[in-house]
């Protein structure tokens, strides 16, 4: 009786032991990832636009140190991007003024930037234009006409850069 | 009383004592206590369920049929012991992970399997006649730390009377 | 003498053998390879952010807790990988899946960069067990990304080769 029990047990075990289970993948799980990329822009200006006092006979024009301009725009594929600048008025010093049209600039480096421009307080002047998202960098060098007719003074004006995407 | 008479009496008394001794020394169990034990099924199998779904695996109930006769009012004992841990190649599951619940209680009782010491499954006094039946449900603590494999071990059930 | 003989008989009785009946059964436990992957979240989102101030955008939630439960053959290797089904897509516009990177905590877990072309290792262990770690995704935020809401499906695979 005891011997028979043992034999039965062994037979069952052998049958099970010979069965194989080949496997590689044990489990899978999915995760959904979503990234929201919204339209936004950033203008970074590095430097100062200062025109030192100079003898107009020696320097009929005065150049300021270069202004680094960075235009960053995240827009849809194919969307237009434009950078403009507009003066808040003429150069003013107390009751005196210098016409803003005496201020011009030249741009070096950076595809899409206009090579030159003349400041205006009436309309925004184009600095650069692009298509689609991107980062754009250049250096603007402003030049002021140096005229004997200017009354002495410390003249200031505000220039506003605007980055737009229609 | 004569010496011959005293000798005969002594011999007779000695013989009677020897007879008594012979009767007393004869195995009282021979032809008196009769034990029968049947375990069914012979293979106790646990289901294959992952530990999150089933932290404890329960095997199909095991039927234990036992019969004790000629036991007078003496105790009887039913024990179970494993021959070692659950083994699959080099992998081991401690046999102490196997427990059981049993009915009817009493005489059956719950317990934890051991390979070092027989564990009491049931006990009582006197006879169990006609055949009595108990049901034992073995349980295994399920764990993700066990190696995959087919584990085996022999259980020995022992019905005994002192 | 009579008393001594009776006493001896009683002592002899005490040495009689115990009667016993035995039966055996076979305990059989079939533990196949099994596994379960659990994630504290099944989606991650990168909110819009200024690329200048936030060049790497953390996901929301900031980390995912991953629980790997695996029962395998003794000393078998267990690996968890992730692969993107595609690049990040918003309509016809795509951003490379490799813009998503991750760092991890927990024994056996590994940081990496997402790919659509090959599964990337997230964790590797030996033998059966439960392993818990966290994964924190980052999205590389650039001014050159076209606007849109991009999505991708990340497929995690637990395997024991």
CATH code, A127: 2.60.40
Same domain for B109 and B63, yes or no, is yes
Domain that holds residue A72: 40-164
Same domain for B39 and B23, yes or no, is no
- pLDDT at residue B162, as a whole number: 78
pLDDT in tens, B36-86: 999 999 999 999 999 999 999 999 999 999 999 999 999 999 999 999 999
Residues of chain C where predicted confidence (pLDDT) is lower than 50: 1-15
Domain that holds residue B154: 31-160
**The whole model's pTM is what?**
0.79
Q: How many domains does chain B have?
A: 2
CATH number at residue B66: 2.60.40
Same domain for B77 and B152, yes or no, is yes
Q: H/E element holding C121?
A: strand C120-126
Segment B118-124 mean pLDDT: 98
Residue A114 lies in a domain: yes
Rounded CA-CA distance B102/B137 in Å is 6
Helices and strands, number each (H, E), in chain A: 1, 12
Tell me the chain B residues in contact with residue A9 when contact means C-beta distances shorter than 8 Å.
42-43, 154
Rounded CA-CA distance B34/B42 in Å is 23
Rounded CA-CA distance C24/A3 in Å is 10
Same domain for B46 and B22, yes or no, is no
Query: A–C: how many Cβ contacts below 8 A?
Result: 153
Same domain for B115 and B101, yes or no, is yes
Mean residue pLDDT across chain B: 86
Distances (CA, A) of A128 to A41, C37, C52: 14, 53, 21
Of the candidates A143, A98, A89, A86, the residue with the CA atom closest to the CA atom of residue A116: A143
- pLDDT at residue B4, as a whole number: 60
Task: Specify which residues C26 forms β-bridges with.
Answer: B43, B154
> Could you tell me the domains of chain C?
31-159 (2.60.40)
Same domain for B50 and B10, yes or no, is no
Q: Do B150 and A17 touch (CB under 8 A)?
A: yes
pLDDT in tens, A124-147: 999 999 999 999 999 999 999 999
Same domain for B26 and B38, yes or no, is no
Residue A10 lies in a domain: no
- pLDDT at residue B2, as a whole number: 65
Interaxial angle between packed helices C2-14 and B3-25, expressed in degrees from 0 to 180 and rounded to the nearest 10: 10
Place of tokens 């024990």: B79
% pLDDT > 70, chain B: 81
Tell me the chain A residues in contact with residue C26 when contact means C-beta distances shorter than 8 Å.
9, 12-13
Q: Do C128 and B157 touch (CB under 8 A)?
A: no
Q: How many domains does chain A have?
A: 1
Place of tokens 């107390």: A94
- pLDDT at residue A166, as a whole number: 82
Q: Do B150 and A16 touch (CB under 8 A)?
A: yes
Segment B120-130 mean pLDDT: 97
Residue A58 lies in a domain: yes
- pLDDT at residue B11, as a whole number: 45
**Cβ atoms within 10 A of the Cβ of A136, count?**
22
Q: Give A12→chain B minimum CA distance, Å.
A: 8
- pLDDT at residue A11, as a whole number: 30
Same domain for B5 and B56, yes or no, is no
Residues of chain A where predicted confidence (pLDDT) is lower than 50: 1-23
Same domain for B65 and B126, yes or no, is yes
Same domain for B153 and B117, yes or no, is yes
Place of tokens 């001896």: C8
Tell me the chain A residues in contact with residue C37 when contact means C-beta distances shorter than 8 Å.
27-29
């Amino acid at each position: 009786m005891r011997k028979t029990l043992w034999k039965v047990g062994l037979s069952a075990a052998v049958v099970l032991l010979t069965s194989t289970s080949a496997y590689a993948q044990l489990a899978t799980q999915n995760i959904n990832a979503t990234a929201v990329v919204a339209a936004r822009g950033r203008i970074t200006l590095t430097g100062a636009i200062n025109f030192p006092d100079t003898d107009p006979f020696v320097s009929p024009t005065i150049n300021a140190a270069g202004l680094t301009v960075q235009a960053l725009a995240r827009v849809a594929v194919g969307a237009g991007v434009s950078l403009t600048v507009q003066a808040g008025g003429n150069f003013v010093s107390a009751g005196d003024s210098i016409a803003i049209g005496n201020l011009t600039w030249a741009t070096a480096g950076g595809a899409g930037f206009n090579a030159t421009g003349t400041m205006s307080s009436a309309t925004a002047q184009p600095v650069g234009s692009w298509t689609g998202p991107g980062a754009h960098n250049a250096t603007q060098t402003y030049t002021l006409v140096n005229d004997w007719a200017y009354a002495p003074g410390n003249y200031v004006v505000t220039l506003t850069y605007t980055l737009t995407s229609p | 009383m004569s010496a011959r008479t005293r000798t005969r009496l002594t011999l007779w008394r000695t013989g009677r004592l020897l007879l008594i001794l012979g009767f007393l020394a004869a195995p009282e169990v021979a032809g008196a206590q009769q034990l029968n034990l049947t375990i069914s099924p012979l293979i106790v199998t646990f289901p294959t369920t992952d530990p999150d779904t089933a932290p404890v695996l329960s095997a199909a109930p095991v039927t234990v049929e036992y019969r004790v006769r000629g036991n007078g009012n003496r105790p009887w004992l039913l024990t179970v012991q494993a021959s070692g841990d659950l083994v699959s190649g080099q992998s081991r599951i401690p046999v102490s992970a196997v427990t059981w619940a049993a009915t009817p209680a009493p005489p059956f009782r719950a317990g934890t399997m051991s390979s070092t010491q027989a564990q009491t499954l049931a006990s009582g006094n006197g006879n169990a006649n006609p055949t009595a039946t108990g049901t034992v449900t073995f349980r295994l603590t399920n764990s993700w730390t066990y190696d995959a494999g087919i584990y085996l071990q022999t259980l020995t059930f022992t019905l005994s009377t002192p | 003498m009579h008393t001594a003989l009776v006493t001896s008989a009683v002592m002899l009785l005490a040495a009689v053998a115990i009667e016993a009946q035995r039966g055996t059964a076979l305990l059989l436990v079939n533990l196949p390879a099994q596994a379960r992957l659990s994630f504290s979240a099944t989606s991650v989102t990168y909110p819009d952010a200024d690329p200048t101030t936030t060049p790497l955008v953390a996901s929301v939630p900031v980390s995912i807790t991953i629980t790997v439960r695996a029962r395998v053959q003794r000393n078998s290797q267990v690996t968890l990988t992730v692969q993107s089904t595609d690049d990040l897509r918003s309509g016809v516009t795509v951003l490379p899946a490799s813009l998503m990177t991750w760092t991890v905590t927990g024994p056996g877990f590994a940081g990496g960069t997402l790919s659509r072309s090959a599964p990337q290792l997230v964790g590797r262990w030996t033998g059966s067990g439960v392993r818990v770690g966290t994964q924190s995704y980052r999205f590389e935020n650039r001014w050159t990304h076209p606007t849109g809401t991009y999505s991708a499906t990340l497929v995690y695979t637990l395997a024991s080769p």
